[in-house]
Amino acid sequence: MESHALDTTLRWIVLVPLCGAALNGLLLRRMPRRAAGLLACAAVGVSFLLSVAAVVRLAGLDPHHRLLTDSLGTWLDIAGVRVEVGFAMDQLSAVMALVVTGVGFLIHVYSLGYMAHDPGYNRFFTYLNLFIFAMMMLVLGENLVMLFVGWEGVGLCSYLLISFWFNEEANAAAGKKAFIVNRIGDFGFLLGMFVLGTALLPHLGDGEGVFSFRTIAAHAHDLAPWATAIALLLFLGATGKSAQIPLYVWLPDAMAGPTPVSALIHAATMVTAGVYMIARMNMVYVLSPAAMTVVAITGVVTALFAATIALTQNDIKKVLAYSTISQLGYMMLACGVGAFAAGIFHVMTHAFFKALLFLGAGSVIHAMSGEQDMRLMGGLRRKLPATWPTFLVGTVALAGVFPFAGFFSKDEILWKAFSEGNPGLWLVGILGAGLTAFYMMRLVVLTFFGENRASEAVRRHIHESPPTMTVPLVILAVLSVTGGWLGWPHFLGGANRFEQWLAPVFEAGAGGHGAVGHGAAVHAAASTEWLLAATSLSLALLGLYAGYRAYAGRASLSAKLHAFAGGRPHRVLLNKYYVDELYEASLVRPGYALSDRGLYRAVDVGLIDGLLVNGTALLVSITSALLRLFQNGKLRFYAYVFALGAAAFVLYLALTI
């Protein structure tokens, strides 16, 4: 069978959304609103169909050499550093391409209804298409430099979309915060690239691209002395994009953007870029057990940390935001224990049910005339017959209840953590899973049960969303149920086809270095796996039940606990452990002070403007004023000066000869 193929459709998967963004952007004031939305949807739809066609062709190749490539030429070839403008699709990028374009298309369709009356309608769809282009550049880039171009592109689009309603200062500030925090991570990413290139360049032959993923995999053994430094620096970039401790603080504020933005960027695609990057660079990470440990611990701590904050948030989108941070922590945990396939599996299932939940929240906000505080909701299940059941499906899937999608991916991650000899990580992970079920049921009860607590004016206008918004909810609900079946585990009689599909990618990356989680699954006793799965499921059901009992009654358990604890734990969680305040006091204010008093007043105003610019002007002014004394227009004075100069010259000659 053919093992490698050129496929020029890869470039169009990337470029068609860019063409849509360009057309909408150039005709921003002339394109009819409906035409702009349909054009944007069509661009992503075409990209999705091309992705499906490419994946079908990829599946026909030899399972251990599945690769489609497409090159547009050489970008850079200086001093042995060669970078191609090229695209490649293997099993890993195929999964990401289908998720990005598929879920992205549904969110575009949803936006037709959600943004229908927004004055920035055409601009919104321009940004959405531009984001899909950047994300596909990241996913299909043949080398690390192309990935980084897409990486920076999604960062720019994130800024544009978060601060889309920039007339409100809070929205503009949220966009700036996301942009700046991600630049911190990106600095680490760049340093990691520099170290990798420096370490690899001496070992390459002619024609080998130093940053090509195939080159890195082939020469991974040469990177062993540098692996920890490279892996940790790249991971710093991932903590920014994928919102891990300590760079997670931008994502909750990013909820200031329109809800479809939250679904597309902060649930299904951009925030998973860090997980994808680590999985793509698995050949480097498996060389460093220390780096893998850092990734795993950071992930599981982030998962539990964010889950506790979500317990007390009252903004419906903020709850989902912290839930996203928590779930990203599980993906990082999977990568940290070497279960890269399980991490990508959770990327896929999470894209389905978290996009569903965000879009469902958008439907609720749409029905509530823009209200996002759950304390002013309630009783909406009778008013929203399409949103309510689909939102419940997403909740159950996120909680990890069998046979919904979240059960299979989350259970796979926890099982891998336990089976690789990390029971402590498993214990923290399963505790976070129980909290997830609890806070999600809290959200459901406060939003859909009981009596509506909004004002009379709002209650009169509560209505179900249009079909452009509800149809994507139904499709995502179906995927939230069935999407996990691709990874039906062996102990339940399945073949875990998802892991089999990805196995060759991670086997090639392992390179015989003893990587865990690659190739054939590590099988312990079936009874142990059954017991762990039963424990996970039981805790999820218990969390759902406890959440319902705590908030469905008249006197909520949360109020009793709040009173019992004197309000202190509740205040700490409600204020998100005061991390933003800590950063404000320790970093932001000193940074402002340094910028204002040091860089601006001392350096800019004092040194550059005062000494160099104004000082030079003053020196020229004084010098010219002195010289003007010799230009007084009096002939007698000129003769006197001439004679004095001649005398001085004669005296000089007399003394030196």
Q: Is 512's pLDDT higher than 50?
A: no
Residue 461 CB: number of other CB atoms within 10 A? 10
378: helix, coil or strand? coil
Please answer whether residues 408 and 487 qualify as being in contact, where contact means their C-beta atoms are separated by less than 8 angstroms.
Answer: yes
User: Would you report the helix, strand and coil content of the chain in percent, each value rounded to 5?
Assistant: 75, 5, 20
Structure confidence by residue, pLDDT tens digits, 197-228: 999 988 887 767 889 999 999 999 999 999 99
The whole-angstrom distance between residue 38's C-alpha and the CA centroid of its chain comes to: 26
Give the pLDDT confidence score for residue 559 in this predicted structure: 62
Q: Hey, what amino acid is at 524?
A: A
Structure confidence by residue, pLDDT tens digits, 284-295: 999 999 999 999
Give the pLDDT confidence score for residue 633 in this predicted structure: 82
Give the pLDDT confidence score for residue 562 in this predicted structure: 58
Give the pLDDT confidence score for residue 347 in this predicted structure: 95
Give the pLDDT confidence score for residue 44 in this predicted structure: 97
pLDDT winner (highest mean) among 2-11, 232-241, 616-625: 232-241
Sequence-ordered strand ranges (E) for 49-200: 68-78, 81-89
Q: Under 8 Å CB-to-CB from 261, ≥6 apart: which residues?
A: 161, 162, 164, 254
Give the pLDDT confidence score for residue 600 in this predicted structure: 85
Task: Give the separation between CA 389 and CA 384, rounded to whole angstroms.
Answer: 9
Give the pLDDT confidence score for residue 338 in this predicted structure: 93
The whole-angstrom distance between residue 54's C-alpha and the CA centroid of its chain comes to: 25
Give the pLDDT confidence score for residue 610 in this predicted structure: 84
Task: Give the separation between CA 264 and CA 327, rounded to whole angstroms.
Answer: 16
What are the residue ranges spanned by the domains of the chain? 166-568, 578-656
**Mean pLDDT across 61-74:** 89
Q: Hey, what amino acid is at 499?
A: E
Task: Give the separation between CA 636 and CA 150, rounded to whole angstroms.
Answer: 76
Q: Is 178's pLDDT higher than 80?
A: yes
Q: Is 623's pLDDT higher than 60?
A: yes
Residue 500 CB: number of other CB atoms within 10 A? 17
DSSP 373: B
628 φ/ψ sector (left φ>0, alpha ψ -120 to 50, else beta): alpha
Please answer whether residues 425 and 337 qualify as being in contact, where contact means their C-beta atoms are separated by less than 8 angstroms.
Answer: yes
Give the pLDDT confidence score for residue 2 in this predicted structure: 42
pLDDT tier for residue 132 given thresholds of 50, 70 and 90:
very high
Token pair of 545 as six digits:
């039940």
pLDDT tier for residue 522 given thresholds of 50, 70 and 90:
very low
Please answer whether residues 38 and 24 qualify as being in contact, where contact means their C-beta atoms are separated by less than 8 angstroms.
Answer: no
Q: Under 8 Å CB-to-CB from 453, ≥6 apart: which residues?
A: 375, 376, 377, 378
DSSP 600: I
Task: Give the separation between CA 157 and CA 179, rounded to whole angstroms.
Answer: 10
pLDDT winner (highest mean) among 251-255, 421-425, 561-565: 251-255
Structure confidence by residue, pLDDT tens digits, 443-462: 999 999 988 888 888 888 89
**Mean pLDDT across 595-612:** 85
The percent of residues in the chain predicted with pLDDT above 70, rounded, is 94
Task: Give the separation between CA 47 and CA 37, rounded to whole angstroms.
Answer: 16
Whole-angstrom CA distances from 382 to 208, 351, 452 are: 63, 27, 10
For 279-300, give one letter per residue: b (16+ CB within 10 A) or e. Answer: bbbbbbbbbbeebbebbbbbbb
Structure confidence by residue, pLDDT tens digits, 24-54: 988 877 888 889 999 999 999 999 999 999 9
Structure confidence by residue, pLDDT tens digits, 316-363: 999 999 999 999 999 999 999 999 999 999 999 999 999 999 999 999
The percent of residues in the chain predicted with pLDDT above 90, rounded, is 64
**Mean pLDDT across 558-582:** 75
Mean predicted lDDT score pLDDT of the chain? 89
- Nearest C-alpha neighbor of 316 from the set 203, 227, 440, 192: 440
Task: Give the separation between CA 489 and CA 529, rounded to whole angstroms.
Answer: 10
β-pair type (81-89, 68-78): antiparallel
Of 123 and 78, more confident: 123
Task: Give the separation between CA 305 and CA 350, rounded to whole angstroms.
Answer: 19
Structure confidence by residue, pLDDT tens digits, 388-441: 999 999 999 999 999 999 999 999 999 999 988 888 999 999 999 999 999 999
**Mean pLDDT across 237-263:** 92
* Cross-strand partners of 617: none
Give the pLDDT confidence score for residue 557 in this predicted structure: 58
